[in-house]
Amino acid sequence: MQNDLNTNPLIKKNHIELRSKIRDFAEKEIRPIAAKLDDEARFSQQLTKRMGEIGLLGITIPKEYGGQNLDTLSYIIAVEELARVDSSQAATVAAHNSLGIAPICNYGTKEQKSHYLPKLTTGDSLWAFGLTEADAGSDVTRIKTKAELSDGKWNINGSKLFITNSASDCSAGITVLAISGERNNKKELSVILVDKHTSGYSTEPISNKMLWRAVDTGKISFNNCRVPEKNLLGERGRGAHIMLETLDSGRLSIAAIGLGLAQGAFEMALEYSRKRHQFEQPIGKFQSIAFKLADMQIKLELARNTLYKVCWQKDAKLPFTKEAALIKLYCSEIAKEIADEAVQIHGAYGLMKNNDIERFYRDQRILQIGEGTSEILRVLISRHLGL
């Protein structure tokens, strides 16, 4: 089965070795505890530390800052393999790499990179990405969080909601999108790095989630949080651009979570259809079940090839905004379809809490909402068609 995943011409020996290493880790160290963490809605600091130790937190970051300096495809394969076993751990890694540290790496000054990145690649600390607010989801321009510059400091007031890696002891701080002034009668948006030890910074975990239950999701409030002016990330007034460009790459990792989850659900359904007997034969012998599995295989093959191709496009420095939207949308939607059909193949057993497929069925649901809903992505893709 693993060989099937490595037939794309972009896959090199190092990618095959990496897949094998992450699969081994996920099977040995995540699978035995994934259901329990989900059941208890518990984020595991210990597992996060282990993921840091094996190089999962800083995969594409240059070695001088403590990273692995690997290509985008390596990162995507790693996330895919984690999600094949547990979406929560895949989400922790994906949010930290794509949303947490990538903007610091891409837009940070040398001083910011040297200050933040080495401690964010070990597994001791995670960094969050703060775009969403109570009244601002898809529409970034509705944010209310303000950052006022006076006496060489930004004074931040407001709050961010549904933020991954923001409320556990591991969380070291956040990249915040805030209104930093006004330009041409429009809000001027800028991005600022805020350390969690700043006075006026408070977090609250959100624990009533139906999915990604082992992910640390929280609300962050800023009450006269004062940080040095040099914590501005990138150019003042370019905040929306920085955040949206970051989401282009983030969408590749959401696609990888969808692909990995779908692969895991497919494997469970295939195994079950071989061993479950009804009417004196394995249910996989019934054409209606076999065709469901064939359809899953088709979707997985198409999704994987396109996702890997977009990784190449990104590393080749070609534009990939449309393609990232397209493959995030596709992988999230096939994850939904495959998880749903996999539950169907499991019959009543698929509806039980002690069956992993039940967790997979829940975990896929965020993928069509986070980092651009399917509706918003269709708007984005159609705009690229000139419509």
Give the residue from 101, 157, 107, 98 showing the smallest Cα distance to 133: 157
162 binds ligand FAD (CB under 6 A): yes
Which of 89, 125, 171, 217: binder of ligand FAD (CB under 6 A)? 217
Give the residue from 264, 288, 173 showing the smallest Cα distance to 220: 173
Counting Cβ atoms within 10 Å, is residue 378 exposed (0-12), middle (13-18) or buried (19+)? Answer: middle
Give the shortest CB-334-to-ligand FAD separation in angstroms.
18
Of 40, 111, 371, 375, the active-site residue reads 371
Within 72-101, the residues that bind ligand FAD by CB under 6 A are 95, 99
> 146 near 193, Cβ under 8 Å?
no
Give the shortest CB-159-to-ligand FAD separation in angstroms.
12
Segment contacting ligand FAD by CB under 6 A, of 14-22, 301-309, 320-328, 371-379: 371-379
132 binds ligand FAD (CB under 6 A): yes
Distance from the first to the final alpha carbon of the chain: 42
Within 164-183, the residues that bind ligand FAD by CB under 6 A are 164
Separation of alpha carbons 296 and 161, rounded Å: 35
Active site residue 341: no
**Residue linked to tokens 């905040």:** 239
220 binds ligand FAD (CB under 6 A): no
Which of 140, 163, 191, 254: binder of ligand FAD (CB under 6 A)? 163
Separation of alpha carbons 33 and 28, rounded Å: 10
> 293 near 266, Cβ under 8 Å?
yes
Segment contacting ligand FAD by CB under 6 A, of 156-164, 233-241, 285-293, 323-331: 156-164
Give the shortest CB-233-to-ligand FAD separation in angstroms.
15
234/350 with CB nearer ligand FAD: 234
**Residue linked to tokens 């407001």:** 158
129/308 with CB nearer ligand FAD: 129
Give the shortest CB-174-to-ligand FAD separation in angstroms.
9
Give the shortest CB-95-to-ligand FAD separation in angstroms.
5
370 binds ligand FAD (CB under 6 A): yes
Beta strands in 49-165 (DSSP E): 126-130, 146-150, 153-164
81/371 with CB nearer ligand FAD: 371
3-class SS at 172?
Answer: strand
3-class SS at 57?
Answer: coil
Separation of alpha carbons 64 and 110, rounded Å: 11
- Number of Cβ within 10 Å of residue 198's Cβ equals 15
Which of 7, 69, 122, 138: binder of ligand FAD (CB under 6 A)? 138
379 binds ligand FAD (CB under 6 A): yes
131/233 with CB nearer ligand FAD: 131
Segment contacting ligand FAD by CB under 6 A, of 158-166, 180-188, 305-313, 324-332: 158-166
333 binds ligand FAD (CB under 6 A): no
User: How many residues are given for the chain?
Assistant: 387
**Cα–Cα distances in angstroms (integers) from residue 147 to residues 137, 245, 247, in the given order:** 19, 21, 22
Segment contacting ligand FAD by CB under 6 A, of 77-85, 124-132, 180-188, 310-318: 124-132
Counting Cβ atoms within 10 Å, is residue 159 exposed (0-12), middle (13-18) or buried (19+)? Answer: middle
376 binds ligand FAD (CB under 6 A): yes
Give the residue from 286, 260, 219, 220 showing the smallest Cα distance to 367: 260
Give the shortest CB-125-to-ligand FAD separation in angstroms.
16
88's enclosing H/E stretch is helix 87-94
Strands 201-205 and 217-228: antiparallel
Site residues for ligand FAD per CB under 6 A: 95, 99, 128-132, 137-138, 162-164, 212, 217, 366, 369-371, 373, 375-376, 379
The catalytic residues are 371
